Each structure stands twice: as C-alpha cells, then as structure tokens.
Structure 1
C-alpha cells in the first residue's frame, strides 16, 4: 500500500509518484487495452483514500502523432467510469502535428484543448493542460492570458507548463497561477537549470512533475548494449544511447545498481526515491504500461533514503559524467528550457 501523498494547487492530494502513459501507444497496437487498463487501475487502487492518481498523457502521444493515447483513456473510462473521479489527468498539447514545434497562439491552443476534450470523451474532464513546449514566437504573458481565458471557459481547471526555464516559470506565474511544471529530472539529467526550476517552483508553490526519473529505463540496468533495444524502440535514436556513448554511460548505471543492491530496493525505486527527495513538491513521473511496474514505481515514493545515501546519489548526478544530449537533436533540442 502506498501511503505518502503529494499536493497540486495546494489542496489536491495525489500519489507521491505519478504515472506517465506515453509508452502505452508506442508502437501503435504494441500494448493491449487490458494491460494498460490494469496498469492504471493498479496505481489508483494502491493509493490511500482521498488521494487521486496523477496521470500524464499527451495530445500527440503515439507513433503517428495522433490522439491514440487519449482515445485509450476514453475506452478506460467507458469500461471503468468509477475511476474518473479517482484520477487527475494532465495532458500536453499545442504542438503542430508533423513538425515537432510549438504553436501557443490562441487559435492553436483552443484547437488543442478542443481536440483533447473530444478524444477523452464525455466521462472525464481535462484537469490540467500543458503547452508541451514554450513557443518562442509568443510572449509568455500572452500565452498565459490565452490559457486563463480557456480555463475560465471551462475547458480545464489547472494550467501547467512543460520544459520551461525558471525565468519563464516566474513570468508565467505572475500572470496566472501555474499548478505544475513538467521537466526532466533524473540522476543523469540534473542540470543547473533543473535545480533552478525546482527552487523557483518551491518558492512559488508550484509542483514539479519530474518526468523520466529512471532515465527512460536506462538507469535500471536492463539495457547493456544497443542490441537490447526491440525493433521500433524510439530510445535507440537517443544520442546518449548511441554506439559511441552507451558504454561510457553504463558506468553510471553500475554505480546505481550497486547502491540499490546495498539498500535492498530495485534500481527504479532508488532512482524514484532520489527524485522525490529533492523536495515535497517534486513528484516523480515514471511511465509504465504493466501493473507490476506501476506498483514498483509507486513503492519508490515510499523508500526513505538516509542523508548519506542522498548525498552519494546527488554526487553522481552533479558529476554529470554523461555523454550525449537529452533528446535526439534538431527540433527537440531547440525547445528545451524554453
């Protein structure tokens, strides 16, 4: 049983660890509805009374860039309508389909939230909407004013940001309260900007949804070489896992595995526990499409690390001995820390 909780917007109790749904639709048809539904249900059922499961989805989460991720959720709520009130749904959108670029104009934000609402269906309302990236062509203040209009029209109830800098978060929050900011945080993704966003969010009372806390699965030690990637696995395109970088980056994994074994927890739980230790407002956001993995991840939020263990892991993260960038390059890289 997961006992610890976190809070969004000051008064919404959610699980200490959230649940990313992106990989449920990669590749198309690769995961069965039954497995995905059981994964979601397991996370909801493990939470204490009064806490909601914080689910993170995307308007474009699929191999095609379409709304398959949200359509899967619509089927879930159709089969299990009682779970609508037990979950808090955050959805990223605002990306120009096929171009991997943000468009945070009012017209595109409205199109995005309407697309999400239609795909989610009538049983579950969008709780939190996040522009997936900051649009350099639209002033942050204008974007927030547009989002506030859409919120007041009833399309969603909370505003989030994704991949933004601390400065951008502060500017946005001055226009309208930001409930959560989603950034990548892990033992191999802990830049100075990461620390700055976490500190600024704490000051402003904003939650941090820390995605990829186990390094897209690499930090748990099951990937030893590029031969371990299944056909169609998008991670094979990450520069950190390229032929020239993977062997070097495995050295960090070996350190993590040794600490996890000594602690008596799984590597995933250790990584999640370290992210959670960065602050009560930092909510690890791992993904899973299997019930057993969902439960393993949630249990990571209950792992108590000793001060010495936190210091040892933080030293690994701050050393930054990682080769390769966080994304593939090109369009993805230019919009990080917007």
Structure 2
C-alpha cells in the first residue's frame, strides 16, 4: 500500500513525513513498560511500511516514564543503538521543559537549556533531536522569550526545528513572528474538538505550520476496546480521567457505537475511522496515535489512506453533535490554567 505523506512546516519544507505519526509515550509511562523487543518491532513495522523518502514522525518526552524519568528516551536510544539504519528514516520530536521529576513548568532560559541538554545526553548520540517542544507554557514567561531561547538553541545546533505544545492560536502567531515554528502539538479527536482546537488548526494552516494531533483515539476510548476505567491497568493515569468515569462513559460510548456503524460499512475499524477523521481536518494535520504492537501500528498507518466522503463526514458530524464528550478532557474541577492548556 502507498501511504499518504505530509510535509513539515508547510509546502516549502523538504522534510516528508508519514501522514500518521507514532507516539511512544505509553511504551514506558505506565505501570508495566513494554518490553524492548515488542516496542522495537512496533517502531520498525511503521517505518518499513513507508514509501521511499518519507520519514516516520516519532514523538517522545523527557519525562515519559513512571516517576517522570527519562525511560522513554532511553528506550529510543536503545532502539537506535540496535537499529542505527533507521535513524535517518525517522523524525524525532521530544517534549521537555518541565522541572526534573516534577509536573511543574519552568520556562527559564536555564531550564530550557538544561532540558535540551538532558534529552541529548539520554539519546547518547544515537539519533539527532529533530524537533524540541516545551510540553507546556510557563505563564511566568512570555512566548516571545520561549521563541528567542529556542531559536538560540537551533542556531547552536542542539536541534533543527522549533515546536510548541498545548498553546492557543494567538500564542502561535506571536511565537512565529520571532522564530519559525515548524510544528504545534495539541489534542485532537472526536473526543477533543473544541473552539480553541479549530482555531489552532486554522492558524497553523494559515502560517504553514504542521499540526500534530495527539490522542486521536480519545485516550483509547475511540478504539472500541475500553468499556470502563477498570479496563486500564492499575496505576494507569487514564483511570482518573473524567471521560472514563461511570457517570460519563456510558454516554461517551454511544458515540463509539455510532462510529462503529460507519466504520463497518467502510470495512475499517472504528479506530481507523477516528484517525482518518482527524487527518481529514487538513493536509497539514498529522494524527499521532500511540502503539506498542505491530498489528496496531500498521492499522494506524493505513488509516491515513482512508478516504472519507462528504456523506461520511456529515454522518460523523451528526454523531458528534448528538454525543459530545461528557466529562472534562482531564479531570473535572481542574481549570485550563491549572492544567496549562491553551497556554
């Protein structure tokens, strides 16, 4: 199968990426990490399925490990140590910028530099850091400060491209005036499609910025395999998310049932339909599902080639209007400011 591709940072970029990326977070940020052999096979499968010249967008994080460790980066380093021939066939994006071992944003020049240096140290020279993203914006610092510091680091050769994460449309505009932003990452799915989401997607298209859409499967709800919070392993942080609580999940699963009917008619899975819907939001949009399994990785990639008709999209829109997400994106009672959303 010839898989669709996208370009980084607009049509002028020479970096060709797979239309569907590969998120690595849940390989390590859960109570029972995925064994290397299984994780490596999943990563390789996606890369091997790409057309010549295309790279797989791999997404990692400085803190993607139990206890906020660099476990995910260390897994990435082990992969490229064992399979160095895949280094040039991938595009590596890493989120950082938090204080070590804490879910605390720190946008100081010193911490941003420390974060990038620690990421490079964890990678051990096995793979170039292609794109760096501050995971959340520290409200103590203007976005112009971030753009200036990140631009300095690019000029010093620490990484090649600037990314932003969980920011709003106006923030993107301000940053892009100071330094070219190549990619912006936000949550986008049929469970996360709000006014701010639409504004960011439109702004990125206008400015020629790639939009990386994480959690296109609604933290797993849109796979059709999750029926309650108890379906997640004990200690999995998703057990606490509002959308999976008893008061909400029955309603949310009605959307999945409706989507399943559309997917069955098209001969695809509900997960593939959900990824395809995100990808259809724009040529510049790259859905970023996570996968630790070969079969799932290939299914996710194939979703980038699914063509949705006007009738399909209209039916999905009706379902979305009828069954909007019940429960907060994260946990009820926490504000966007507390969660550093749309910074």
**TMscore range, shorter length:** over 0.9
Q: C-alpha deviations, 1:214-251, integer Å up to 9, x for none?
A: 11111121112233222222211101111211112111
Structure 2: tracts of 5 or more residues without a match = none
Q: C-alpha deviations, 1:178-203, integer Å up to 9, x for none?
A: 00000000011100110000000000
User: For residues 76 and 28 of structure 1, do their structure 2 counterparts lie closer, same or farther at Cα, with a shift above 3 Å needed?
Assistant: farther
What residue is the counterpart of 1:4 in the other structure?
Answer: 4
Q: Distance in 2 between matches of 1:315 and 1:192?
A: 17
Q: How far 1:30 moved relative to its partner?
A: 2.5
Q: Structure 1 stretch 178-187 or stretch 93-102: which is displaced more?
A: 93-102
Residue in structure 2 matching 1:118, options 121, 144, 149: 121
What residue is the counterpart of 2:23 in the other structure?
Answer: 20
Q: Distance in 2 between matches of 1:168 and 1:20?
A: 24
The alignment partner of 1:102 has SS state of coil
Q: Distance in 1 between matches of 2:32 and 2:189?
A: 29
Q: How far 1:174 moved relative to its partner?
A: 0.7
Q: How far 1:276 moved relative to its partner?
A: 0.5
Q: Distance in 2 between matches of 1:314 and 1:170?
A: 29
Q: How far 1:267 moved relative to its partner?
A: 0.8
1:337 corresponds to 2:330:
no
Q: C-alpha deviations, 1:72-107, integer Å up to 9, x for none?
A: 010000000000111000000001234412111110
Structure 1 segment 82-231 matched on structure 2, within 5 A: 82-231=85-234
State how many pairs are aligned.
338
1:273 corresponds to 2:273:
no
What residue is the counterpart of 1:236 in the other structure?
Answer: 239
Q: Distance in 2 between matches of 1:331 and 1:78?
A: 42
Q: How far 1:11 moved relative to its partner?
A: 2.0
1:247 corresponds to 2:250:
yes
Structure 1: tracts of 5 or more residues without a match = none
What residue is the counterpart of 1:66 in the other structure?
Answer: 69
Root mean square deviation of aligned Cα: 1.5
What residue is the counterpart of 1:57 in the other structure?
Answer: 60
Q: C-alpha deviations, 1:132-158, integer Å up to 9, x for none?
A: 011110011011000000111111000
Normalising by structure 1, report the TM-score. 0.97
Q: Answer yes or no: is the 8 Å Cα contact 2:31–2:235 preserved in 1.
A: no
Q: Structure 1 stretch 95-104 or stretch 172-181: which is displaced more?
A: 95-104
What residue is the counterpart of 1:294 in the other structure?
Answer: 297
The alignment partner of 1:164 has SS state of coil
Q: Answer yes or no: is the 8 Å Cα contact 1:158–1:179 preserved in 2.
A: yes
Q: How far 1:2 moved relative to its partner?
A: 4.1
